Structure 1
Amino acid sequence: MDTKEMGAQPPAPDEKPPGFHDAEISKPTAEHLHEIDDPDAGLSEAEKATIDRRLLRKLDLRLIPWLSLLYLASFLDRTNIGNAKLDGLQQALNMSNAQYNASLTVFFVSYSVFEPLTNVLLKRTRPSLFIPTIIVLWGICMTTMGLVHNYGGLITARWFLGLAEAGLFPGISYYLSCWYRRSEFGIRMAIFFSAAALAGSFGGLLAAAIAKMDGVGGKQGWAWIFILEGLATVVIGVLSYWLVYDFPDRAAFLSEDERKRVLRRLAADKQASGLREHEFKTAYIWASVKDSKTWLGCVIYMGADGALYAFSLFVPTIINQLGYSSTRAQLLSVPPYACAAILTVSIGYLADRTRQRGLCNIFVSLIGIAGFCMLLGSKTAGVQYAGVFLGAMGIYPCIANTISWVSNNVEGVYKRGITLGLMIGWGNLNGIVSSNIYRSEDAPRFYPGHGVVLGYLVVFLFGGSVTQYILLRKENRRRLRGERDHRSEGLGSEELEVLGDKRPDFIYTL
């Protein structure tokens, strides 16, 4: 990248800067660090550190709060059907248990099928256009769920809801990784994902309040849950056209010097994603598909995500079966989610500081395993409710931590985007299983449902994390001993850049 380009004013939203083939970020490698003008040349290290902290605070304030709100709306809209069920959805639409579960399942089919494609669409358009548009679309789908009169209408709306929501989580996961150093990404991802736990907490309170509108305008309480939350999402989507920004090299809220600083700090972090990878090639797909880290990441993520959806869709029903009324069950679902949100952020901070994301996954998964053992083994309502707490605390932190772990260890702009898309898509495909394991005929103990979730946590989340940790640790030792140095022999800076995380000097985050 030419230094003159770096010093130019940011192009208008509908223009592409010279030399760029798409709207993606250019993240130069350490070898290209000298090509970017240093706006802080001549300053002392203390002065540079002060400027860097100020820049980081600015990025955090502009990016994290609004993106977290978007994910809160997303998760609320996909899981509020569990709250609506408690307020009479199934009876009002004359649905059997199998039809209700099918309406849950169909969301994950469209969501998972289209998810791997969305990161490519994000980069071929612009975040400031792609993200707000899909939010408005799924807000409309959510609103129509409150207007349906039968099972066919509900399942159709759920299909399109999954299609519209497919681009948000993998898109923002990738988008945030283009702004922060690897050691800074985990806590931001954790704060972003904690919105899912807050959605569960907030959703219970909101549903209990909205249900009081039963009969207003001739609509039942469950319908108003969908209508009001859908309309709120549309408003959020429209505002996002002004509050979601493009990648750092085009972000309007950054000054010329600040854009240089962002790119320089990414370069110093050895993030090689994108200086020359402007044109999409099928080789980037194969680089991801042939990487064992991609598939182990899929295994780990399915362990967390399959358990997440089973928990979030059915926790109001589980609590209701402990003997509480629907309104009280909605309210009692709030505290477990609040604790999960706090632990999610805490684990994100701890993993960033220690750079031990694998160990954090392993430790947290044991909390979830203990919780579901309590749900399976005790008949006491108090013990089971405590198990719900541990279950939430053992699932939610692992989602954000796994995304951060994989993002840290995959280099190359398209490869990372494709890997995240595959992993998140596969994880969400397990929502099909999660939608069908808590059956009404298994109430009140739900042995099959609890047993399947426990299996996901033990085999996939815990077992996959242990395996990935061991393999990455072995590979780091080989690189430090120089056993991979032959990969870089005779290669120029461009060719080294193409190697991505296969470079011998790229050390994996454990």
Structure 2
Amino acid sequence: MEMKPASDKFEHDHSDGSASNEHSPSGMEARSVDTKKTLRQMDYRVIPIVTLLYLLSFLDRGNIGNAKVQGMEEDLKLTGNRYNLAYTVFFFPYALLELPANLLLKKLRPSIWLPAIMVAWGLVTTLTGIVKSYNGLLVIRVMLGVAEAGQYPGCAYYLTMWYAPQDLGLRQGMFFSAAALAGSFSGLLAYALAQMDGVGGLAGWRWIFIIEGIVTVVIGVAAFFLITDSPDKATFLTPDQRAWATHRVQTRGEEWNGQKAQEIDSDTFKWKYVGRAFTDWQIWLGILVDWACTCTIYGMSAFLPSIVANLGYDGNQANLLTIPVYATACILTIVLSYLSDRFQKRSIFVIFLLCIELVGYVLTMIGSSQLINGLSYAGVFISTAACYPAFVLTITWVLSNLAPTYKRASGTAVLVGLGNLAGAMAPNFYSSETAPEYLMGHGLEIMMVSLGLISATVMRFLYKKQNKKRQELVANGISYTADELADMGDRAPTYQYKL
């Protein structure tokens, strides 16, 4: 079943049951919906706020890397592997709590849950600026992991409530580009805030946490009034636009043999959908692909300023030199996500980007071993710029192949939650004892990217094999009710995986 682009107009015909009368006043006659205009209206109201939420969350968890080179390491006596451990402990509660957080999002509604946890992690970030000891830093990082646990999987799942799979790549790309933007903005902001050194009797690195945390709290409060739960509750859309958007998500925006698609998204909660998320091969292979990207994202978030500083630059210069790396990653994420939607391909882009990421690390290894600083910087530049679009397209690829809705919510949390365990691994790839070459860290990154590349290739092969088998089943005739197909979700014989 090939994905077809949205037509410019959607005839809202209630007689076929494709959209219920509750989305239309008094069951009025069919009206023409400009689908491109509707998508733009949704983009204007949905994408900016989730992007801002993620930018601030990534900024607040990653600013410890900037603070480290601005004096935090000396003030808190982060000797040996203490910094690595302080960075790592964030990810244990962060990964563990993502599944219950996504289930709570469904129960409490996005407009309540997402702003609430944002205010919580903003307060924790602010308090990080007043920690007095290494033990205090460990406690505050654990608290930050608890507070932020539901943010990324919640926003990623929230977007699937608004967009069909063929529209999702660009929107996930714009949303996740905030992570790269945060990396770029973090270096510039850290440089500026570090100039407050001595204000109020506080060191410059402390102001990095305090100011960024306060900004997060303020925007979190505003988010209570800015987030709309789903298309059927969107007052900025007309009744027919709401019906079209809801129907498009429920049917994945597809047609089958020229007919309107059967609704394949059951919104009824059953524990078996959660169980399916833990036993689905595509999620486990997706986690390995995720690790190939996430190890680089968090390894560089924690150590890129230090890696650059060890090339012979001071703390301020090192932070500034991270800006072009993340700016490039941000641009590539948006452009390649757009192209992925344009050509309706995910796997080819993911595999290509993992190959580029691998090349970057090989160049870094050569530059580090031969003490060629320019080559080392070019290598981490290439790897970091490639991993961001690779990550977002991996998440989009897997999410597009999960149904029904509670399996997708659970699968998103499992994929992102266990994927984020790479955040606990990657910072420990690097240590001060292996500076300035960091050969062990770069070598371990090469191993993870290679594992992800193999997994992505296997996923593509298995998806194609399963699609062909299902096409043959449908051609020979099937006898399932609409409810049975909806309950099976992505296991239904009529369901075709996205490549």
* Match of residue 100 from structure 1: 83
Question: Does the 8 Å CA contact 1:170/1:424 hold for their aligned counterparts?
Answer: yes
CA distance in 2, matches of 1:166, 1:435: 19
Q: Tell me which amino acid in the other structure corresponds to 1:403.
A: I
**1:40 shift after superposition:** 9.4
Structure 1 residue 248: deviation in Å? 1.9
> Contact between 1:369 and 1:394, CA under 8 Å: does it hold in 2?
no
**Equivalent position amino acid for 1:327 in 2:** N
Please say if 1:292 is aligned against 2:275. no
Q: State the partner residue of 2:3.
A: none
Q: Deviations over 1:259-301 (max 9, x none)?
A: 21211333452587886433x2211122222221121111111
Identify which of 145, 153, 158 aligns with 1:170: 153
1:20-39 equivalences under 5 Å are 32-33=17-18, 35=20
The answer for unaligned runs of 5 or more in structure 2 is 1-14, 255-260
Aligned to 2:183: 200
Q: Deviations over 1:85-120 (max 9, x none)?
A: 000101101222322111111101110111121110
What CA distance in whole angstroms lies between the structure 2 residues aligned with 1:409 and 1:401? Answer: 13
Structure-2 separation of matches of 1:468 and 1:362: 11
Q: Is the 1:368–1:394 contact (alpha carbons within 8 Å) kept by the matching residues of 2? A: yes
Query: Does residue 439 of structure 1 match 2:431?
Result: yes
Equivalent runs, 1:484-495 vs 2, <5 Å = 488-489=478-479, 491-495=480-484
Contact 2:123 2:214 in 1 (8 A): yes
Partner residue of 1:86 out of 69, 74, 83: 69
State yes or no: 1:161 paired with 2:151.
Answer: no
1:299-310 mapped onto 2 (5 Å cutoff): 299-310=288-299
Distance 1:287 1:370 in 2: 36
One-letter amino acid of the counterpart of residue 133, structure 2: N
The residue that corresponds to 1:138 in the other structure is 121
Give the residue type in structure 2 aligned to 1:335: P
Report the count of equivalent residues.
Answer: 472
Distance 1:181 1:233 in 2: 30
Map residues 225-374 of structure 1 onto 2, 5 A cutoff. 225-268=208-251, 269=253, 276-278=266-268, 280-374=269-363
Amino acid at match of 1:228: I
Distance 1:425 1:331 in 2: 31
Structure 1 residue 41, shift from structure 2 partner:
5.7
Q: Which whole-Å CA distance do the structure 1 matches of 2:291 and 2:105 have between them?
A: 24
Give the TM-score normalised by the residue count of structure 1: 0.89
How far the C-alpha of 1:255 sits from its partner, in A, is 3.5
SS in 1 for 2:420: helix
SS at match of 1:86: helix
Per the alignment, in what secondary structure is the counterpart of residue 33 of structure 1? coil
> Structure 1, residues 399-451: CA drift from partner, whole Å, max 9, x if none?
11011101111110110111110010111112111121110011111001111
Q: Distance in 1 between matches of 2:262 and 2:63?
A: 40
Q: 1:164 to 1:358 in 2, by over 3 A?
A: same
Cα distance, 1:132–1:274 mapped onto 2, change above 3 Å: farther
**Cα-to-partner distance string for 1:41-67 (whole Å, 9 max, x where unaligned):** 656xxx64xx21111111000011111
Instruction: Give the letter for the 2:304 counterpart.
Output: V
Any idea what SS the aligned residue of 2:18 has? helix
* Partners of 1:34 and 1:250 in 2: CA distance: 14
Which position in structure 2 is the counterpart of 1:476? 467
Structure 1: stretches of 5+ with no match in the other structure: 1-29
Partners of 1:96 and 1:201 in 2: how far apart? 27
| 8 Å Cα contact 1:273-1:411 kept in structure 2 | no
RMSD between aligned residues: 2.0
Query: Could you say if the C-alpha distance between residues 94 and 111 of structure 1 is closer, same or farther in structure 2, counting changes exceeding 3 Å?
Result: same
Among the aligned pairs, what percent are the same residue?
Answer: 40
User: Partner residue of 1:419?
Assistant: 411
Specify whether residues 161 and 273 from structure 1 end up closer, same or farther in structure 2 by C-alpha distance, changes over 3 A only. farther
The aligned residue for residue 13 of structure 1 is none
Hey, what's the Cα distance between the residues in 2 that align with 1:292 and 1:485?
A: 26
The equivalent residue for 1:385 is: 377
1:503 positional shift = 1.6
Q: Deviations over 1:442-480 (max 9, x none)?
A: 111100111111111111x21111110111011111122
* Range with greater deviation from structure 2 (285-294 or 67-76): 285-294
SS at match of 2:354: helix
Distance in structure 2 (CA, Å) of the matches to 1:221 and 1:171: 33
Distance in 2, Cα, partners of 1:276 & 1:293: 20
State the alpha-carbon separation in 2 of the partners of residues 98 and 386 from structure 1.
Answer: 27
Kept in 2, the 8 Å contact 1:306–1:427? The answer is: no
State whether residues 248 and 263 of structure 1, in contact with CA within 8 Å, keep that contact through their aligned partners in structure 2: yes
Offset from partner CA, 1:66-99 (integer Å, 9 cap, x none): 1111100000000000000000101101222322
**Residue type of the partner of 2:132?**
H
> Quick one: distance in 2 between partners of 1:75 and 1:195?
8
1:187–1:352 contact (8 Å) kept in structure 2: yes
Q: In structure 2, do the counterparts of structure 1 residues 80 and 34 end up closer, same or farther at CA, with 3 Å as the change threshold?
A: closer
**Partner in structure 2 of residue 69 of structure 1:** 52
1:185 maps to what in 2? Answer: 168
2:8 corresponds to which residue?
Answer: none
1:406 aligns with 2:398: yes
Quote how far apart the aligned CAs of 1:327 are: 0.5
Give the conservation status (yes or no) of the 8 Å contact 2:250–2:263: no
Change (3 A) 1:410 1:84: same
Corresponding residue of 2:12: none
Contact 1:272 1:412 in 2 (8 A): no
Distance 1:112 1:272 in 2: 35
Contact 1:103 1:158 in 2 (8 A): yes
Alignment partners' CA distance in 2, 1:202 and 1:259 = 36
Question: Residue 497 of structure 2: SS of its match in structure 1?
Answer: coil
- C-alpha separation in 1, matches of 2:315 and 2:465: 51
* Distance verdict in 2 for CA 1:313–1:31, change over 3 Å: farther
SS, match of residue 58 in structure 2: helix
Q: Does residue 1:429 correspond to 2:431, yes or no?
A: no
Residue identity opposite 1:480 in structure 2: Q
| AA partner of residue 425 (structure 2) | V
- Matched residues in 2 for 1:257 and 1:33: separation? 12
For the 8 Å contact 2:55–2:182, the answer to whether it is kept is yes
- After superposition, give the CA deviation of every residue in 1:170-202 in whole Å (9 maximum; x if it has no partner): 001011011112111000000100000000000
